[in-house]
Structure formats: C-alpha cells, structure tokens
Homo-oligomer: A and B are copies of this chain.
Amino acid sequence: MDLVTVEEIAAAAERIVDTAVRTPLLPCDWADADRPLWLKPENLQPIGAFKIRGAANAMARIPESARPRGVVAYSSGNHAQAVAYVAKRFGLPATIVVPENTPAVKIEATRSHGAEVVVAAITDREIVAERLVTERGATLVPPFDHPDVIAGQGTIGLEIAAELPSVELVLVPVSGGGLASGIATAIKARCPAARVVGVEPALAADAAESLAAGRLVRWPAADRARTIADGLRAEPSELTFAHLSTLVDGIVTVSEEEIRAAVALLARRAHLVAEPSGAVTTAAYLHRAADLPRGRTVAVVSGGNIDPTDLAALLAT
C-alpha cells in the first residue's frame, strides 16, 4: 500500500496556508526538567480542531469542474464543522450527514457555516452520504481515510519539525489514525531520531491492540463509545493502519480519570480549553512517564470542543 510522502505534506502546507492557523509551540513551565514539554494547540484553529487542515487540503484538490457540485461529509463532530467552514471559505456548497441523535447545538453550528444538514440513522449515514455523492456529483470528504486528508493533518508535523528540530518525542491522539499517520510521516522524514507515540483512551484502545497484534483488530462500536473522549471513538482504516504500523513507535493508553484531570490542568496551567480527546496526550505525559522516552516532548492538543458545563464541572472540583 502506498503511504503518504513528506513531499505531499509539504504541498498540503502551501495549499492550506490561508485557511489554517500556524499554531505556536507553547513551552510549559510546569514540565519535568529532564523532559521539557511544549503543547501544539490545535484547539486554537477556527472551529476548534486540527480537522480543518485535512479538510482544506482535500477540498483544495477538487478539480475546478467538480467544484460547483460541492462536497459531502458524514460526521457529527469536528470534521463536520471543518468541512462546513472550509467549504464556505472556498465558496463550495456543502452537505453534512449527521446521525439522528446529534445535539441541536451541533446541527446549528454546522448550519451557521452555511452547510446543508441531512439527518440520517447512524447505521445509514455512510449510505446516505454516498447516495448524495452519486445523485449530485458531489465530492466526499472523508474524515481520515484518504491520502489528502492525512497529508493535511501531517502539516502539524512539519510545523513541529521546523520550530523544534531537536524534538525527541511527539505525542499524538489516535482515533481513525489520520492525524497520527500524517504527523508521523512528517516527523520521521524531518527529525528521524524523534519518536512518535500515539495515545488512546484505555476504553477505546483498538489501535494499541492492533499494533501489538500486527493486524487490524476491531472493537465493537459500543465498546469504543464508552470513553469521554468522543473524538477518539473511530477505528483505523487499512490505509491509516499501514502508516501507524510502519511509522509509529508505540501507543500508550490513559484512563478516563487521567483524561479529565488533564483537561483541568490544561485550563489551569496552559490557559487552553481542550476537549477530552485533545487532552489525552497531556494525560500520557503526566501519567505514562515510565513508558515514554525522556527528552524534549511535544504533546498535540488536537481540539477544544468541550461542552462548557462539562468544563465547569471539571474546574469546580
């Protein structure tokens, strides 16, 4: 299987320069002395998540002739917002298929970017999206299972390598695996001595189990849905697993309690609002030190879309 190349990621970086923010590396004065920590705050992107990078790269590559027919995505989360936001910027019609249990506030947020929202049963949403693609001649923008999406997410790795070439460890959340695939490709090309370690909730550790087994191990969706980290409930595809098994140095897991504590710590000490999925890397830094290489560490904070009342509850305790 062909893996994404660092050249494709460099090309993606040029395509998304006007859409995604080049986020800084934030040094943490509360880190351990022998493993200084920087945060890569992707929660500061428009729509509050890294997803904008992959969506922008994929949508920039749609041929001129196909652009008037627009794009389709299925997601209830950050990918939906990202596709809607980028489509509006690019002037493309967008249709987002959401599962029928999606909170009204998320549907409203998607509509606020000008996207059409189609509600479907969760088991039908891929079928509904594919039918829209066929009927309208629209282009599907998948959440992770596409080289252009992986290349877009990989621009985070290029930015880390450019700003901190001496980085020794990069911690990345793993769900469908697009983010980790892209970042690992960029880091291994530009900083070959650095390790890239994925982080999963213990309650959705299918990628960790897959890496250990050397093949894709499937967990029931109901099991993966148990974690508070609602952005980490997807599972790798053949394409992303090929990247992970070739490029990633390991995957560590964190508990629900560790994730909650990391969300609170990021607000208190780093002044960042992170969603649970975005806080797993900080949780791993704090609680899996024994399993991680020492040295200069970057933790990717992938998103910030947490319900404010949930954040309030975590901060009040």
Cβ–Cβ < 8 Å partners of A46 in chain B: 27-29
Query: A26 at the A/B interface (Cβ < 8 Å)?
Result: yes
Q: Is B27's CB under 8 angstroms from A21's CB?
A: yes
Question: What residue of chain B has the Cβ atom nearest to residue A81's Cβ?
Answer: B29
Query: A272 at the A/B interface (Cβ < 8 Å)?
Result: yes
Q: Is A29's CB under 8 angstroms from B315's CB?
A: no
B interface footprint on A25-47 (CB within 8 Å = 1, 0 otherwise): 11111000000000001011011
Q: How far apart are A52's CB and chain B's nearest CB, in angstroms?
A: 10
Instruction: Write the residues of chain A forming the contact surface with B, with a CB cutoff of 8 angstroms.
Output: 21-29, 41, 43-44, 46-48, 85, 113, 264, 267-268, 270-274, 304-305, 308-309, 311-313, 315-316
Q: Is A268's CB under 8 angstroms from B308's CB?
A: yes
Question: What residue of chain B has the Cβ atom nearest to residue A113's Cβ?
Answer: B29
How distant is the Cα of A138 from the Cα of B27 in the complex, in angstroms?
Answer: 29
How distant is the Cα of A41 from the Cα of B29 in the complex, in angstroms?
Answer: 17
Q: Is A26's CB under 8 angstroms from B47's CB?
A: no
Q: Is B304's CB under 8 angstroms from A315's CB?
A: no
> How many chain copies?
2
- Which of B29, B43, B272, B274 is in CB contact (< 8 Å) with A47? B29
- A21, A311, A312 — most chain B CB neighbours (10 Å): A312
- Which of B24, B28, B270, B308 is in CB contact (< 8 Å) with A267? B308
Cβ–Cβ < 8 Å partners of A267 in chain B: 273, 308, 311
Q: Is A44's CB under 8 angstroms from B41's CB?
A: yes
- Which of B274, B304, B305, B313 is in CB contact (< 8 Å) with A312? B313
How distant is the Cα of A272 from the Cα of B161 in the complex, in angstroms?
Answer: 25
- Which of B48, B113, B273, B309 is in CB contact (< 8 Å) with A273? B273
How distant is the Cα of A113 from the Cα of B30 in the complex, in angstroms?
Answer: 10
Q: A26-B44, A273-B273 in contact; A311/B315 too (CB < 8 A)?
A: yes
Q: How far apart are A262's CB and chain B's nearest CB, in angstroms?
A: 14
Cβ–Cβ < 8 Å partners of A22 in chain B: 24
Cβ–Cβ < 8 Å partners of A304 in chain B: 271
How distant is the Cα of A308 from the Cα of B304 in the complex, in angstroms?
Answer: 17
Q: How far apart are A79's CB and chain B's nearest CB, in angstroms?
A: 16
Other A-B pairs beyond A29-B47, A271-B304, 11, CB < 8 Å = A21-B25, A24-B24, A26-B44, A29-B46, A41-B44, A44-B272, A267-B311, A268-B308, A309-B315, A312-B312, A316-B316
Q: How far apart are A288's CB and chain B's nearest CB, in angstroms?
A: 24
Question: What residue of chain B has the Cβ atom nearest to residue A308's Cβ?
Answer: B315
Cβ–Cβ < 8 Å partners of A85 in chain B: 29
15 contacts between A and B (CB under 8 A): A21-B25, A22-B24, A24-B24, A24-B44, A28-B46, A29-B85, A41-B44, A44-B271, A267-B273, A267-B311, A308-B316, A309-B315, A309-B316, A311-B315, A312-B315
Question: What residue of chain B has the Cβ atom nearest to residue A39's Cβ?
Answer: B44
